[in-house]
Amino acid sequence: MKTKQLKVKTDGLLTKKELNHAVETLSAGELVAFPTETVYGLGADATNSLAILKIYQAKGRPSDNPLIAHVGSFNQLKRLVKYVPTYVEELIHHFSPGPITYILKHNHVCSNKVTAGLDTIAVRIPSHPVALQLLKACEFPVAAPSANLSGKPSPTSAKHVLKDLAGKIPLIIDAGNTGVGLESTVLDCTGDLPVILRDGSITREMIEKVLNVTLKQSEQLTIKTPKSPGLKYKHYAPAIPLILIQGNKEKIRTEILAYQALGKKVGILLSDQTAMKLDLKSNFRLGQTIEEIASNLYDGLRSFENMDYDVIIAESFEKKELGIAVMDRLTRAATKII
């Protein structure tokens, strides 16, 4: 299959003809990769089981790992679920459209292949203008996991999507680099208060402030049968080993030298500040702020596997605010943490 590319200018939208083509492709039960503000999604009509099976096939994704249904408005969201708790309305008011996903009891509108047979569904309204344009034009919800091969770092550019899925999907909408760079915050909203199942750029502090409550620490990342099925799988891992260094930054230099002494080609993934402090040349510029680091992280992980490096040495970041999500992804990507 040839993968057709539709290029959208930065801050631009699809033309009417392009939009029709994308909607028709989805309506015909085919897959369309599209940009969101977090990462690129691999979309299919969420009411069409055969279309959803194509997502699992193209990604090589385990079929017990449910997908997020994407919609363009609160009204479209309400059509998929039994009820919307008051606190979810409040969160939607503050954070949606945006990088946050709500897990709610569903009403069987979506295929049970989307929900992996659970009685709940994950729903998100993304804020990327092209994603919103596409979702508003669809009469159906669009199920969309990240548009990468299962287990690999999520795609933050169309180039990443093509590396993993060229020839396997008919259409990709290319709108340049995504902004946030990490997947959405996932909230279980089936109880009296939300529980964070996956950290993202909408942080615990931001949610607590809006709801004026203190949330339980999420135990989901460590328990054996996590409430979010996806958490039990290996994620975000580049094709080469990644060593994550905690604590004293001098340990980074020691590790690099040790691998180089073995004749290994070492990819170094550091913030600009640490690179300067250690007087080391980072082979990929992650940037300075935690927002830049989040935005560039997956491109960094992917860049090393393209350039025949043997190992990646990565720095740890402070586990606060967005740093919590960055460390969650790095920890899951790591082969070894020292």
Which spans of this chain sit near Mg ion (rule: CB under 5 A)?
Answer: 145-146
Question: Which residue type is seen at 303?
Answer: S
Which of ligand AMP, Mg ion, none does residue 37 bind to, with CB < 5 to 8 Å depending on kind?
none
Q: In what order do the strands lie in the sheet with 311-315?
A: 284-285, 266-270, 311-315, 242-245, 336-337
- 271, interface contact from ligand AMP, Mg ion, none, CB < 5-8 Å by kind: none
Q: How far is the CB of 187 from ligand AMP (least distance, A)?
A: 10
CB of 55 to ligand AMP, least distance (A): 9
Please choose which of Mg ion, ligand AMP, none residue 36 contacts, taking the beta carbon within 5 to 8 angstroms, the exact cut-off set by kind.
Answer: none
Question: Closest Cα to residue 20, out of 173, 176, 178?
Answer: 173
Q: Which two tokens stand for residue 171?
A: 């259409």
Sign of CA dihedral 174, 178, 181, 182: negative
The C-alpha atoms of residue 14 and residue 129 are separated, in whole angstroms, by: 10
CB of 61 to ligand AMP, least distance (A): 8
**Beta strand ranges found along the chain (DSSP E):** 4-7, 32-34, 41-45, 68-70, 100-105, 120-124, 142-143, 171-174, 185-188, 195-198, 242-245, 266-270, 284-285, 311-315, 336-337
CB of 263 to ligand AMP, least distance (A): 36
Question: Which one, 233 or 259, has the nearer CB to ligand AMP?
Answer: 233
Residue nearest ligand AMP (C-beta atom): 230
Task: Give the nearer residue to Mg ion in terms of CB position, either 147 or 245.
Answer: 147
Residue 77, binding choice from Mg ion, ligand AMP, none, Cβ under 5 to 8 Å by partner class = none
Stated as kind and residue range, the H or E segment containing 25 is: helix 16-27
CA-CA distance, 149 to 162, in Å (whole number)?
11
229 binds, among Mg ion, ligand AMP, none (CB under 5 to 8 A by kind): ligand AMP
| Structure-token pair, residue 57 | 């096939």
User: Which is nearer to Mg ion, 39 or 91 (by Cβ)?
Assistant: 39
Question: Which C-beta is closer to Mg ion: that of 145 or that of 238?
Answer: 145
Q: Are 55 and 42 in contact (CB under 8 A)?
A: yes
**If DSSP codes are grouped into helix, strand and coil, which group holds residue 194?**
coil
Rounded distance between C-alpha atoms, residue 154 and residue 301, angstroms:
10
Nearest residue (CB) to ligand AMP, 133 versus 146: 146
- Give the nearest residue (CB) to Mg ion: 146
CB of 160 to ligand AMP, least distance (A): 14
Q: Which is nearer to ligand AMP, 106 or 204 (CB)?
A: 106
3 state SS of 7: strand
Going by C-beta distance under 8 Å and a sequence separation of 6 or more, which residues neighbour residue 280? Answer: 252, 253, 256, 268, 270, 274
At closest approach, how far in Å is the CB of 230 from Mg ion? 7
State in angstroms the smallest separation of the CB of 145 from Mg ion. Answer: 5
Partner in contact with 65, chosen from Mg ion, ligand AMP, none, beta carbon below 5 to 8 Å by kind: ligand AMP
In the chain, % helix, strand, coil (3-state, to 5) comes to 35, 20, 50
Nearer Cβ to ligand AMP (153/267): 153
Q: Which does 103 bind (CB under 5 to 8 A by kind): ligand AMP, Mg ion, none?
A: ligand AMP
Binding site for ligand AMP (CB under 6 A): 65-68, 103, 115, 118, 120-122, 145-146, 183, 186, 197-198, 227-231
In whole angstroms, the minimum distance from the beta carbon of 326 to ligand AMP comes to 16
Residue 59 vs 204, nearer CB to ligand AMP:
59
